[in-house]
Structure 1
Amino acid sequence: MKIWIFNHYAIGPGSSGGTRHYDLAKQLAAKGHKVKIFASSFNHQALKEEHLADSNRLYVTKNYDGMDFIWIKTPPYERNDIRRVRNMIAYSTRAYRIAAKMDEKPDIVVGSLVHPLAAYVGYLVSKKRKAIFYFEERDLWPQTLIDLGKVTKRNPVIYGLASIEKFLYRKSKRVIVLFDKAVGYVTNKGIEKDKVLYLPNGIDLSRMDRAQELPERVQNILSINKNKIVAVYTGSHGKANNLDVILDAAGILKAAKAPVHFLLVGNGPEKKRLMKRQQEEGLSNVNFEDPLPKECIPALLGKCSIGLLPLKDSPVFKWGISPNKLFDYMGASLPVALLCDLEGTPVEKAEGGYVIRNNFADGLASVLNNASKDELRQMGMKARGYVEKEHNWSSLSEKLEKIMLQDLKGLR
């Protein structure tokens, strides 16, 4: 099969961010399929140009592990403002033009809704190239925007986004969702259940065995705190990530002189404000570090005691959760402190950590102050066993391959 994936924020090896499509494509390529991923050369997680710096080229093609990444040049931005909107528009228009001129004809096109324009471009390309279209709904737009309080349901933008969502549902052969209960979200919109495919985020277990060495600065932080419980957060520093709760817990534990240290690794629009708060409050038990390449994350997690996943209280999570960082933590045999008011989470199913459902800061401080390293290690082993069974990209890719071949056979 020839498979094209349109994901504005996809990343390849040696970079920071979510590797969903890279990991999936690598598995499909190993099975003999030809995969192309159309992504922005500007890294959304690190907020920097990674592939076309000082170049006038519109795009560049690079091959990794048997698949092709089409890195498309887009303008930079630092926060969620008009510059980010320009970046989205630039990716969408350029991705379509580049794909439309390629000689190769895809069999299946996947449009991933990291934002609606990227998914819509996938549909347009599939129509032009007469290919099967799969719509991957990542964040349940526009419902996420409403439930996170960014806009009201009466906002005209919401009506527009809802129309695009319904359009893509109708035009797609399959609707891919990442959350276990999101199948119900889609069927509630009038879409037949057989059309919806649950394909959660997963983990490449082979990455755990070939982790790159950590930067010296990070090694020093871990060495200084080696006798403490080190609680780590990796990922975006945005409003939806609710990282103030971690600083609140750090303040409680600092006052209690608890042997706990926090390490927050990543970047995002809230990072400068959070760092300023840490300095003003004298939170010496907190370190902020720059994003690390994905290949370094297993080495980092392997030296920490527990992974942190605070979620902003929102009705949208009733459909389930599937953050990359959750499975990174669990795959590295690291227990998870999940802060959210949810039932039936992967953490509970695995017995691989703690779910703190209210009074997040006090609850997190209490857990970290009372947990033993022995207890945390045992939970981490259970977490690893769970993702090996349920969230291994090898088995997830087989599930997708089977559906794709079935859909292609139906056309012949």
Structure 2
Amino acid sequence: MHILLIHAYFLPSGAAGSTRWNEMTRHWASAGHQVTVLAGTVDYFTGKPYANLREEQHHPNIRVVRAGMGRTYNRGRWGRLRAYWTFFWTSLRAGWVLRLESVDVVLASSPPLTVGLTGWLLARWFQKPLVLELRDLWPDAPIQLGYLRNALLIRLAYWLEGFLYRHADHIITLTPAFAEILSGEKRVSSTRITTIPNGADLSTTQLALTHFDRAAFRTQNGLDGRFWIIYAGTHGPANGLSIVLEAAESLRYDPVGFLLLGDGPEKARLLAEVDRRNLPNIRFLPALLKTDTLRWIAAADAGLVLMQPLPIFQTMLSAKLFDYLACGTPVLAAIYGQTRQLVEKHGLGLFVDPNVPDTWFDQISLYLARPSLVEKHSQNGLAYAHQLANRTNLSQQYLTLLNHVQQTHKTRS
């Protein structure tokens, strides 16, 4: 099967960030399938363009073609919106120029929602089925975050959302909550919706940790003597990392520290604020390659999942959550809804209230007083990752669905 994937933030080889789709396509390619990726030219972490990057060969069966997103990505809301529409036009042109009539299915991964329009037009052009994946719910998320305020643009965005839901042959969501919203509020038939959750690439985790000496790593990196909570991910407005500073302030005189690993538009402000407050229990780490990130996660005592306390984020499950589980690192969940429910149901960690960060010590102290609880949550997380979040299995589930959509489209044609 030849799959055309449209993903604005597909990572170059060796880049820091979420590698879910790099790993997914690698599994498909290793199984003998061909994958062509139309990707953007902007680093999601930093908002900066990749230098001199136009086409890559990640695997003999994976071809990545970069389509420009323009130079406006970091210039506020309007600049970001312009960059999305620039990618719509450049990716559409790339799809036409490449003459990809040999593809069997078009897969568009949103956000931004405009990739769905590219996917629909190319699917129509090539007379192939369109599968729309929703990693986040747009335009709900940018509206709640205050990014999208213009009434006309909001109406247009909801029109585009509805149009794509009606015309996609199938829709894949990352959480059951997304599926419930689609079948309820958005009135999409549940027969056209499948949930395939995020997960962890256990082979990558095993490679990173096979010869990992956790005690030596902690000593070498000055981690001894504190209970370290790691946040590994984007430092952006949606992530709500200012809450961590408030928690660190209340824990200033306790043996607890925070490791903030990653990059993003809020990082410079956070660095300056930590310096202004003279917080000794926060350390910043740069965005690292996946294997290095996994070692820091494994060295930490707990992993933090956090977003702004908005209703839309109660429906999501963060990618970093599954990396924590795969490393056997207990989770501190600072998100209501799906995340809290999953963590508490399976005994993967503890909930900390994102609205009241000065109460976090009440929960963290349970770990400090009961190392056996840390070990229990660690083992539960490892079991969950292997049984229910193994990306190899999820990749095969995804592939089976794409093949079903392709065969159904052929029958109807």
Confirm whether residue 202 of structure 1 aligns to residue 199 of structure 2.
Answer: yes
Separation of aligned partners in 2, 1:288 and 1:309: 16
Separation of aligned partners in 1, 2:60 and 2:239: 32
Q: Deviations over 1:337-356 (max 9, x none)?
A: 11123266321232111112
Separation of aligned partners in 2, 1:27 and 1:198: 19
Whichever residue aligns with residue 5 of structure 1, its letter is L
Q: 2:248 aligned to 250, 262, 272, which one?
A: 250
Separation of aligned partners in 1, 2:23 and 2:306: 25
Gaps of 5+ in 2: none
Confirm whether residue 68 of structure 1 aligns to residue 53 of structure 2.
Answer: no
Q: How far 1:74 moved relative to its partner? A: 3.5
Contact 2:243 2:354 in 1 (8 A): no
Separation of aligned partners in 1, 2:138 and 2:188: 16
Q: Does the C-alpha gap of structure 1 residues 140 and 27 become closer, same or farther in structure 2, counting only changes over 3 Å? A: same
Q: 2:333 aligned to 338, 348, 356, which one?
A: 338
Q: How far 1:198 moved relative to its partner? A: 0.6
Contact 1:211 1:297 in 2 (8 A): no
Q: Which residue of 1 aligns with 2:36?
A: 36
Confirm whether residue 329 of structure 1 aligns to residue 324 of structure 2.
Answer: yes
Bigger mean CA deviation after superposition, 63-72 or 379-388: 63-72
Confirm whether residue 292 of structure 1 aligns to residue 312 of structure 2.
Answer: no
Confirm whether residue 371 of structure 1 aligns to residue 398 of structure 2.
Answer: no
Q: Does the C-alpha gap of structure 1 residues 68 and 246 become closer, same or farther in structure 2, counting only changes over 3 Å? A: same
Separation of aligned partners in 2, 1:321 and 1:82: 26
Q: Which residue of 2 aligns with 1:406?
A: 404
Separation of aligned partners in 1, 2:154 and 2:327: 39
Q: Which residue of 2 aligns with 1:232?
A: 230
Q: How far 1:166 moved relative to its partner? A: 0.7
Q: Does the C-alpha gap of structure 1 residues 387 and 206 become closer, same or farther in structure 2, counting only changes over 3 Å? A: same
Contact 1:46 1:291 in 2 (8 A): no
Residues 8-47 of structure 1 mapped to structure 2, 5 A cutoff: 8-47=8-47
Q: Deviations over 1:73-104 (max 9, x none)?
A: 43344464443334323322111111112244
Q: Does the C-alpha gap of structure 1 residues 116 and 355 become closer, same or farther in structure 2, counting only changes over 3 Å? A: same
Contact 1:92 1:117 in 2 (8 A): yes
Q: How far 1:305 moved relative to its partner? A: 0.7
Normalising to structure 2: TM-score of the pair? 0.90
Contact 1:16 1:46 in 2 (8 A): no
Q: 1:261 aligned to 257, 262, 266, which one?
A: 257
Separation of aligned partners in 1, 2:117 and 2:245: 39
Residues 374-389 of structure 1 mapped to structure 2, 5 A cutoff: 374-389=372-387
Q: Which residue of 2 aligns with 1:241?
A: 239
Contact 1:79 1:269 in 2 (8 A): no
Q: 2:391 aligned to 377, 390, 393, which one?
A: 393
Q: Deviations over 1:29-63 (max 9, x none)?
A: 1222111221123211133333xx2x4x7x21322
Q: How far 1:358 moved relative to its partner? A: 5.7
Confirm whether residue 191 of structure 1 aligns to residue 191 of structure 2.
Answer: no
Q: Which residue of 2 aligns with 1:123?
A: 120
Q: Which residue of 1 aligns with 2:108?
A: 111
Q: RMSD over aligned Cα, in angstroms?
A: 2.4
Q: Deviations over 1:108-161 (max 9, x none)?
A: 101111112122111111111111101112211122233334446x82221111
Bigger mean CA deviation after superposition, 162-171 or 32-41: 32-41
Confirm whether residue 143 of structure 1 aligns to residue 177 of structure 2.
Answer: no
Secondary structure, counterpart of 2:251 in structure 1 = helix
Whichever residue aligns with residue 74 of structure 1, its letter is M
Q: How far 1:374 moved relative to its partner? A: 4.1
